[in-house]
Structures are given as C-alpha cells and as structure tokens.
Structure 1
Amino acid sequence: MLQKYEVVIIGAGAAGLMCAAEAGKRGRNVLVLDHANKAGKKILMSGGGRCNFTNYYVEPDRYLSHNPHFCKSALSRYTQWDFIALVDKHGIPYHEKKDGQLFCDNKASDILNMLLDECEQAGASIQLKTAIEQIEALADNEEGLRYQLLTSSGKVQCQSLVIATGGPSIPTLGATGFGYDIARQFGLKVYPTRAGLVPFMLTDHTKALCEALSGTSVNVSVSCNDKNFNDDLLFTHRGLSGPAILQISSYWQEGDELDIDLLPSFNLAERLREQQHQRPKVSLKNWLAEHFTQKFAELWLEQHHPQWLGYSLAQLSGDDMDAIANRIHQWRVKPSGTEGYRTAEVALGGVDTDEVSSKTLEVKSQPGLYFIGEVLDVTGHLGGFNFQWAWASAVAAAEQV
C-alpha cells in the first residue's frame, strides 16, 4: 500500500514530535515514523523522570559544535520563553531546580503527553513499530513528491522528509546512528561521534578510593582543556559522575587529565594555619571531616597522606599544610575512558552543520530534506539546553516543510 504525505518525520522523540505539531498547525499533512514501540522514550527517562525541559539562561555558548554560530538563528527565533508558554498553556506545574534548570513538578510524561496532544490537535499522525528499510529521492513529478520510503508497513512518499532520529546515546531505549547513515547516503559530511555528558571510568589506584566512597557527593571545580565547571561530583563504583563530571566530559579527550579542586570555596592552606592557632588539638582527620564527610577524610588521608593520619593540627608544619592543600585543590585524575553511549545523555559530533541552512534546517544540496535535533553536530550543556535545541530546531524546520 502506498501512502502519500506532505511531510514525513523519522523519529518520534522531542524534536520529531515538536516538528510534527508545528508543521501540522500550518495545515501540513504530517506522518511521524519510529521503529520504537513507544514515542518519546528519552523524554520519559530524562531529568531523573522529571524532564529538565529547558533553561532560563539559554545562550549559544552553552553549545558545542564545529560551527559555534550555527545554533544562534534557531535559538533566537524559538526561545525558552516560547516553550515555557506552551508548558503554561497545558497547565503543567514546574520548578527551577538551580541555575535556571526547569523540571516538571510531577513526571516527565507531562511533557510527552503535551507534545502528543499538540500533534493530535494539529492532525499529525504517529506510526510506531515501523522500520525504515530504504529511502530514495524521486524524480520530478506533478505532486511535488521528492522522497520515497520503503518501510516495514509499506511505501510512503512525501514532499518534505525530516530526520529527527537523535544520536546513539542510550541504545537500550532504541537509539541508533541511523540518521548519520541517511546523511551519508545523500553525500553529507558526518563528524565522528562520541559520548557526551557521560560518567568517567577509572582503572588506576584512584578507582579503589572511588569504590569506597561510592554514593558520596562533593561540590567541586573541575577543569580540562581550558573549560571549567563548578558543581557536584559523585563517586561511583566505576569512577566519577555527577553534574560537574558530566559537563566536563564533553570537553575531555582520551588521554587528558582532569584538574579537580575539591574545596573551591576557600584557600585550604590559609584556613589550616588559622585553625592551627585556634584549635590546635583537633585532629587533621576530624577537621577535614567538617568540610567533607568522616569517611572521605579518613580514606583521603589513607591514600594520599597516611603519615599524617593520626596528626593533630598542632603537629603539622607549614610545608605539610601546603602539601595537603595542594593535593585537595589540585587533585589530578586521568580517566581510563567514559562509560560510553550506554549511559551518555548525548552524542557529540554528527551531521556537519555546514551542510544545512541555519535558518530552515534544510540540506543545501538536497531540497526537501531536513535534519533537526541531536543528529546534527550541536550538543548542549547539561541543564535543559539539549531539549531547547530540539524544540528550536524543530520549529525552524516546521516553518518551512
């Protein structure tokens, strides 16, 4: 059976559903296809099930891309305030967690249901459990149909084809690199991809410390490749995680060291000298425990300064205090790698943005073919930025298809 649509969107995730709803509002006849058995799976698990759907402080410098200017056009035309207005229209309660991050009060399903409702009201059809077996460009015809898709449910022809397949992160949810294959089929450049916003694994002596401290969280400042983030670090059985680590992972390259300041809020050497005068009998271990936890203080000293484990502050020399401060303010860690796509929130790299119009998201060399969302070489920081890119890029394409 042959179906004909004005717009076909591959991918029923954040970008695909948003694009379908907006194109449908323009009176376009829209079909969304996805191989999964449920729409918006990544939306449902995002933000710990609460969906960090945007951020109050969206700026282009919160995005990584080989062309840092590419994202500016779409982000300026469909802003966080536009999406917040949509959320308000549907009466979805939300709150700011910190740093402008907006989360649902209830469940992430509120955002997914909102998008599905918008699609339904706009008359956009969603067809799940449908595999795309082949895509081909059609010769000129009277109906203006440019593409034919051979699917597990039959043939589909369309005027505009939108690729909203996302990247390969979290394959257990059905994520694949299929969108990159489509890009290559049409001769587009695709940058190599790697896991971003992902925990680190350690294999050296530091791993034992991380295992012992698993579940412990510390506010840190972490640096790598001239980028710095201040946020929480979480010790895990495999290595390091937490917001600060996820953020820096997008800037880390294999072989790089991380510079971690475990007490960014004050000068530890100065504070130790002050406290030595005021509380000389306090043990170093107990004093450190006031700033971390008892367990952290004990394990840290056992691994890094066992000679001072039983010392009081009075017993420390100036050099001793400097050595302790230097190790805590400049903890150098060399990850063996990341946990990879299995736990990554995003994939870095993807379809070269130079192949696509920043205004319409249409492929310059292939009329009627569009790429939106994560499949493109645009990756946001943690905190709702990737969702905002999904919404903004989707709307930019929806206005043209």
Structure 2
Amino acid sequence: MSSHSYDAIVLGAGAAGLMCAAVAGQRGRRVLLVDHADEPGKKIIISGGGRCNFTNVHTAPDRYVSANPHFAKSALGRYRAADFLALVERYGIAWHEKTLGQLFCDGSARQIVALLLDQCRLGGVEIALSSPFGEIGHDGDRFTVALPGRIVTAPRLVLATGGPSIPKLGATGIAYDIARRFGLKVVEPRPALVPLTLGGDEALFRTLSGVAATVTASAGKARFREAALFTHRGLSGPAILQVSSYWRPREPIAIDFLPDAERDWLIGAKRAQPRTTLRRALAATLPDRLAEALAERLALPGELGATTDRQLDEAATRLSAWRFLPNGSEGFAKAEVTVGGISTADLSSQTLEARRVPGLHAIGEAVDVTGWLGGYNFQWAWASGWAAAQVL
C-alpha cells in the first residue's frame, strides 16, 4: 500500500473543512481534504431552501450555545461576517438580506460550494471524495490515516466531519469517536434547531397542523420572537427551532401568543366590546383556528361582559406564557445542527487545537459551539476553519 505525505489532512469536506483547507492551501501548505461522500458541501447545497443562508450580519458570540459561552469570541472576532461577504461579492454572487440579518444567495447554494472549491483550487488542495477513512494513528509527531488503497500522513489533522444531524446526507458522529480516542471529552450531543413533538393532553393542538403565528417562545432564559408553526406532530417554525437548542427533555417551553398585547388587553376588550367573545377577540390578531382552540381551552363563560376581570386577567396571563411540555423532538433526522460535541475545554480558542494532542484540531459543527438559526452556524464554520488554518 502506497504512502503519501502532506502538511495537513482535513477530514470532512463540508463548510468548515472546505474553508480550512482552502485557507491553509493558500498559505502554502500541502493539504489533503478527505470525505466519504461523493460530492463536497452537501449540507451547504440543501441549506436555506437551496439558497444557502451563508452568514448573518448580527453575528456575535452571545448567539451561540456552548458549555463555554466565551470560546467562540476569538475566531468570530478575527473572521467576521463582512469577511465572508467580501469573498461572496468577489465572486460576483448576487445576495439579499432577509429578516433578522440573514444573508442568502439570490441564486443557488451551489454557488457557495463552487466558490469554496475554487478557493481550494487556488490553494492547490488535493480533494479525495468517496474516500471513507479507516484507522487513524499518531506516533507523537505525525498522524496516519488509512484511505482506500493508500496511507496518508501529516503532522496536522483537522476534524471537520460535523455532527450527526441530517444522517440522510451521510452525517455521523465519527468526529466524537476520533476525539475520544485521543482523550478529548465530548459534551453530550443532542438535536438542535429541530421541531418539538407533543403528546397526551396537548393532542388538541396537533389538529392545528399548518397554522402559524408570530409569537415569543421561551425555554429557560432564552426567548425568541418569530413565527411558530403547529404540525401534525407538535411544534415547529423559526421560534420553536430556536428554543429547541436550549430545551431539555422533561422541561416545559412557554409561548406568548400575543407578544404585542398589554397585560390588561382582555379587560380593555371587555370595556370596549362587552358582547364579544374570547374567540372573536383572539381572532382579531390570531388565525381563526388557533383562536378557537385557545378559547376552547380557556373555557371562559360566554361574552366578555359576563366574565369577571379576574378571570380575564388569568386568561391573559396564560396566553402570555402558555406552557407546553414536549415529549421529545423529531431527532437528528430533522435537526439542522447538533448541540454539544467536542468539548471546548480541551481546545484552544485561538487555534482550535487540542491542548493535550499537538497537531489535532477540531472545527465547525464537530465542536461544542452551536449558533442560532439564521446563518450563524455557517459563520462559525467559516471562522473556525479560518482560525485553524492560520497555524496548519
């Protein structure tokens, strides 16, 4: 079996791996980028409905979930959203800004993959696709990786294989297995940016499948004002996907169905229209089916004028923090990303290098850094890949 030597081997040709390999290659390093898939950037291609939400102009460390909330500061501060946007514009890729600072391609997400591949070409990166890797060794100075028909070696090895979210694209937790083999800790991975499921008592809400409304959803101290969507299995939509990254099993989430309403809005409605019902009052703001379901649950007696102020105050309070107890999520199959991963306690925030294993780096989704919905995870991929590439 033949042996080939490189300056760095990057495992995983997703967003972080492509970025890292390209930057290191353009710094003069001889880089091998390896992936078991038959094409690079599969997650990029499907992202943003095929248009790739490639970054967010509001990127900041407080928009990431991690056991160490300060870890992402260094990489994000040195490679910013504006830096990647400049690269996008250099390639003449048309883009637009949607809500909350999200930047999308006007055309296809494949333009971003083509950009990254061209950057790899400029750096002389060798790309090995359809190349599942076998045993990985380390003699203290060099890493060895068994590939089909050959052994490759390098003093630097980068884990950029992501997490287990969206397994239909070939995603696995292999990065965690490799990390553990080298003595690195792994924060328990769990699905993130994922729909939540309801059961039992809350089955009534599953009859609202397809109904959406702008709400404020919260899990613990995390609060997000965006659209929530009822599904045949439970709750989805941007607001729910956001809080799912903070939600833990057996914990409730809360939804404010009327985030713009004053606390005493129902009492005011009673004064203004004593003959109206709660359902009609809710339907002035919410979709009819949702208004009907909420009114049915609250079960106020007839017209607002026949209801006491105390009852109305209690109803308004419940509507501002409606408690749901999800019985689970739709799992890694539907999760956009993974919360948890290789522990930041074992990595340098400057170089993403393992503290106790010189030459071993972990970047992107493989690391315990998870962004909010809206381009934040791609920005972490670009920034962490760039940061690691500076020392390869």
TM-score, structure 2 as length reference:
0.95
SS in 1 for 2:314: helix
Change (3 A) 1:14 1:215: same
CA RMSD of aligned residues (A): 1.6
How far is 1:400 from its partner? 0.8
- The counterpart of 2:284, out of the listed 290, 300, 320, is 290
Deviation sequence 1:308-361 (CA, Å, 0-9, x none): 4xx333333323322331221121110101111111111111111122221111
How far is 1:237 from its partner? 0.7
How far is 1:135 from its partner? 0.5
Number of the residue aligned with 2:237: 242
Q: Note if contact 2:341-2:366 (Cα within 8 Å) is conserved in structure 1.
A: yes
SS in 2 for 1:221: strand
Amino acid at match of 1:205: D
Q: Note if contact 1:130-1:153 (Cα within 8 Å) is conserved in structure 2.
A: no
Amino acid at match of 2:185: K
> Are 1:323 and 2:314 matched, yes or no?
yes
Q: Distance in 2 between matches of 1:181 and 1:59?
A: 30
Q: Distance in 1 between matches of 2:242 and 2:293?
A: 26
Number of the residue aligned with 2:132: 131
Change (3 A) 1:112 1:261: same
Number of the residue aligned with 1:360: 351
Q: Note if contact 2:12-2:33 (Cα within 8 Å) is conserved in structure 1.
A: yes
Q: Note if contact 2:33-2:128 (Cα within 8 Å) is conserved in structure 1.
A: yes
Deviation sequence 1:42-83 (CA, Å, 0-9, x none): 111112222111111111111121222211111111111111
For structure 2, the 5+ residue unaligned runs are none
Q: Note if contact 2:213-2:287 (Cα within 8 Å) is conserved in structure 1.
A: no
Q: Distance in 1 between matches of 2:355 and 2:277?
A: 67
Q: Distance in 2 between matches of 1:389 and 1:331?
A: 33
**Which deviates further from its counterpart, 318-327 or 387-396?**
318-327
Number of the residue aligned with 2:27: 26
SS in 1 for 2:100: coil
Number of the residue aligned with 2:381: 390
Amino acid at match of 1:73: S
Q: Note if contact 2:278-2:295 (Cα within 8 Å) is conserved in structure 1.
A: no
Q: Distance in 1 between matches of 2:151 and 2:80?
A: 36
Percent sequence identity over matched residues?
49
Q: Note if contact 1:346-1:379 (Cα within 8 Å) is conserved in structure 2.
A: yes
How far is 1:139 from its partner? 5.8
- The counterpart of 1:224, out of the listed 200, 209, 219, is 219
- The counterpart of 1:180, out of the listed 176, 187, 198, is 176
Deviation sequence 1:99-122 (CA, Å, 0-9, x none): 111111122112111111111222
For structure 1, the 5+ residue unaligned runs are 141-145
SS in 2 for 1:193: strand
- The counterpart of 1:206, out of the listed 202, 207, 210, is 202
Deviation sequence 1:121-160 (CA, Å, 0-9, x none): 22112111111111001365xxxxx111112242111222
- The counterpart of 1:251, out of the listed 233, 246, 250, is 246
TM-score, structure 1 as length reference:
0.93
Number of the residue aligned with 2:143: 147
Number of the residue aligned with 1:143: none
SS in 2 for 1:383: coil
Change (3 A) 1:273 1:66: closer
SS in 1 for 2:135: strand
Q: Distance in 1 between matches of 2:334 and 2:58?
A: 26
Q: Distance in 2 between matches of 1:100 and 1:194?
A: 26
Number of the residue aligned with 2:192: 196
Q: Distance in 1 between matches of 2:266 and 2:73?
A: 47
Q: Note if contact 2:156-2:359 (Cα within 8 Å) is conserved in structure 1.
A: yes
Q: Distance in 2 between matches of 1:256 and 1:370?
A: 35
Number of residue pairs matched? 391
